[in-house]
Every structure is written in structure tokens, then in C-alpha cells.
Amino acid sequence: MIDAKLYIGGHFIDADHRERVAAKYSGECAGSFPVADEELVSMAVAACTEAGQALETMPTHKRADMLEFISLGLKKEESKFAEMIAIEAGKPIKQARAEVRRAQQTFKFAASCASEIEGASIRLDAAVGSESKYGFYLRVPAGNVAAISPFNFPLNLVAHKVAPALAAGCPVILKPASYTPLTAFMLAELISRAELPAGAFNLVYGPGTCVGMSLVKSDDIRAITFTGSAEVGLEIARNAGIKRLILELGSNSAAIFDASANLVSAVPKLVAGGFSYAGQVCISVQRIFVAEEVYDDFMASFVPAVRALVSGDPLNEDTDIGPLISESDAVRVESWVDEAISAGAKALVGGKRHGSFYEPTVLVDTTNEMKVMNREVFGPVVCVVPFSNFPEAVDMANDSIYGLQAGVFSKNIDNINEAIARLRVGGVIINDVPTYRADHMPYGGVKMSGLGREGLKYAIEELTDIRMIVIQR
């Protein structure tokens, strides 16, 4: 059991009020965490501000060394971090290990990118009247960063906020999800040994309505990086004022499977993409559009593969599906599926709730008016819809308020080109699921899926300002 602490100004401190953290499978107490108030949040912001000059002027190689130190620390403590993710997030242990390995890479990529932050020269003499001037620009830290992270990747999505901020020279305050605070505390313990300037990294806990919104509204916070729901993202945008925003929001990601696609290689990817971490992934496969002429063959392979998934204790090596993050989330998924079935959909497999578990579910005969199609389920539910021609499939995939990523399975170059040209998403993944993400690629969406891009180089660009220098010869 871990009793977490706040980390402010280089010191671990407590607060008057603490809350319990439940193990998501057993319900037993996994630890506790202190809830910050506005005074403690103000202390964290002040600590950031005080650390700004020291972090900005720190030699790049030292910043890179510290990020490399954190990456190596995660590698050494992989088992410890993976076990905590499995306990407090309910993520199957084999998936938890994969998350820790990705977080190691994320900090390693950040270490490399810290050394590659570049400006550029500008040919001012291209403008009449500026023949005697030359210019260049630098990229400089934007300032204090508020990092608000979700429960579903309590280590790697934290890494995607903290690592680029530190690489850019920006002090950061992390507010992790209250469902999964203990992994963040373990990371804070590791970062505390990296010899960062005091206040360069801070950790606070508490509800978004209080702690999160205090950070969002603070005039001393210059950038906010957030992953979560579109509704909360809108609230942040309304209250942030003039700040840099990286908002990674919701999705109901689509995959298109045409008549030329390779069934044998596609089905395992689609099963993993739809049901890893019980579908609680922003780019989880939620809608699959299948060409009519191969629909029966596809379903004959896909449905048994889903039925074979094993639900159970996340610490068991054989477990594919763990519990949802809370029973209330499982109840919500149940209500959406029941509503769809009442409106004419059919569950070919699954469709039942068992406490905080929801069975891996495949729905057919769905329509776009159903929540399971037009909203983000964030649960182990996949809808399969036939299409008659490829342009129709693209239109159906685009018929969404979201636009994060889409997958296209095809050997037909014309279909591939059409998908690339017409899919209104932040990433088009050819012959793989929309759930694919390499941690150094630009990642983000359009429409209600958000603003800005993650991926170390691209997040650093979001967290730096351009300073133009003009010199008279």
C-alpha cells in the first residue's frame, strides 16, 4: 500500500484531507493520496515560477541527461510500475508492462529532442527596404505548464506531458486523475532523484472542478496540456484565457475493411484495437465498416476471436479484459448497449455487465443515431456495419463529431488514396488499426477530438514561443 504525497518546490508534503485509492479488481485499499486546496495549488504555481529561470538557462545536455535518467529509472523499475498500473487502473498486467516500456521510450525520445530544438534564419532582404537587415528566430520556453492527465494511461500519458515540458525548459505542475494517483507519485519519486531545479516538476492531486480549474485559470500558467473528454476540454478552453492549449479529447474511431484486405492479419489487430484495456483507449476501435462482399467471412473470423478473450484479474498473465475503471462506467456502457438493442441492434457476443466488468461485445444492425455509434463508448463495445462501396465507407467514418484517427485495411491503391484525401481525422493508419501510435509521431485530432499535437518534437513546438531577432548590418 502506498500513501502518496504532494511534491511542491522539491519537497514531498502532505495535506489535511486524504482520499482512499481502490484496487479496481479486488476493491481493496491500494493506498491514499492528499487532496490539494487552492493555497497548495498557488504554492505549486509559485514554485514553478521560481524554477523557470534556472530550468530555461540550464545547458541542454543537462536537461537531456535528466530525461535519460528518468527513462533508465523506469526501465529498472518496470515490474514495480506495471504492477501498480494493473492494481490501480485495472489494466491487464501484460498491457501494463507495454505501457511502462512506452513511457521509457517517451522520456528517451524527449532527451533526444531536447538537443534538437532549433530556430531558423530569415532572408529579410527579400523584402524591399530590408536589404541592410538580417534575421533569425529562436524557440524559447512558453513558461509554466499545467499537465492534466487521465486514468487510462497513468504513466505514458503523464510522460507525454511532463517529458516535452521539461525538454522545452518549461516548469510543470502535474495533476493526475484521482482514479490513478499512485503511479504518478511513484514517477514523482523517480523524478525527485533526477537533480532537476527545485520546482521544475510539481505534483498536486484533487478534483478537476477545484484543483484543475485553479490551474486553468491561473495567470501564471502559460500552457495547458490535457487529455480527457470533449466536454471537459471545452470547459478548459472557455476558462483558460490566452494560453497555449494542447487538448487531446474523445473519439469513436473507425476502421474500414474493404474487399481486398487481408483477413488473417487484420482480425487480430482489430480485436486488440477494439478491446485492449476494455476499450478504455482514446483511439480504441469503436466502429468497423466492412465491404458487403466479404462481410460474412469477416464476421465468421472476428466474432469467435472476440468470444475467446479472457476476462479476469488484471494481475493474471492470461487476462485480456479487466474491469472498467468504475462500476458507474460499466453501468453507463450497459445502458448505451441496452438502448441500442431496444432500438434494433443485436449483440452477436457479449452484451452483459458483471459488476464493474462488461463483456466484450460486438453489435450489428446499429445506426448512427445510437450512442454506441455517435458518442465515445470508452468500453469493450465494437459496432460492425456493412458498406456497398468505398466512398460510402469514408462518408460513414466521417459522420462523427470526432476526428482523432482512422484505420484502413486495403490493398487497393485507389481506396487508400481516397482514404488519405477524404478522411477528416488527425491520423490515417493504413493496414492497421486507428489504435496504433508511435510515441514520437505527431498525435492529435480535429473537430471535437481536440487541438494541438503530442509526440515529443511536436509537443515541444506547442510549448515553445518563437522569438524573432532582427539585426541592422
Mean pLDDT of 144-154: 98
3-state secondary structure of 111: helix
Helix (H, G, I), strand (E, B) or coil at 154: coil
pLDDT digits (tens, 9 = 90+) for 389-438: 999 999 999 999 999 999 999 999 999 999 999 999 999 999 999 999 99
% of the chain exceeding 70 in pLDDT: 100
Is the separation of the CB atoms in 360 and 350 below 8 Å?
A: yes
**pLDDT tens-digit profile of 39-82?**
999 999 999 999 999 999 999 999 999 999 999 999 999 999 99
Are 337 and 347 in contact by the 8 Å Cβ rule? The answer is: yes
Per residue in 150-178, pLDDT tens?
Answer: 999 999 999 999 999 999 999 999 999 99
| CB neighbour list of residue 430: distance below 8 Å, 6 or more residues apart | 407, 408, 410, 416, 419, 420
Domains of the chain: 2-249+449-472 (3.40.605.10), 254-439 (3.40.309.10)
**Residue where the block lists cell 534575421:** 135
Per-residue confidence band for 371, with pLDDT thresholds at 50, 70 and 90: very high
| CA-closest candidate to residue 306, choices 260, 240, 358, 261 | 358
Where residue 464 falls among pLDDT bands split at 50, 70, 90? very high
Identify the three-state secondary structure at position 229.
coil
Whether the predicted pLDDT of 239 surpasses 90:
yes
pLDDT tens digit string along 199-217?
999 999 999 989 999 999 9
Cell of 183: 503511479
Q: Is the pLDDT of residue 1 over 90?
A: no
- In the block, cell 488499426 appears at 433
How is residue 455 annotated by DSSP? S
- Catalytic residue numbers read 248, 282
Rounded Cα distance between 34 and 107, Å, is 27
Average pLDDT over the chain reads: 97
Pull the grid cell for residue 335: 445502458
pLDDT at 137 over 90: yes
List the one residue out of 49, 45, 23 whose CA is nearest residue 36.
Answer: 45
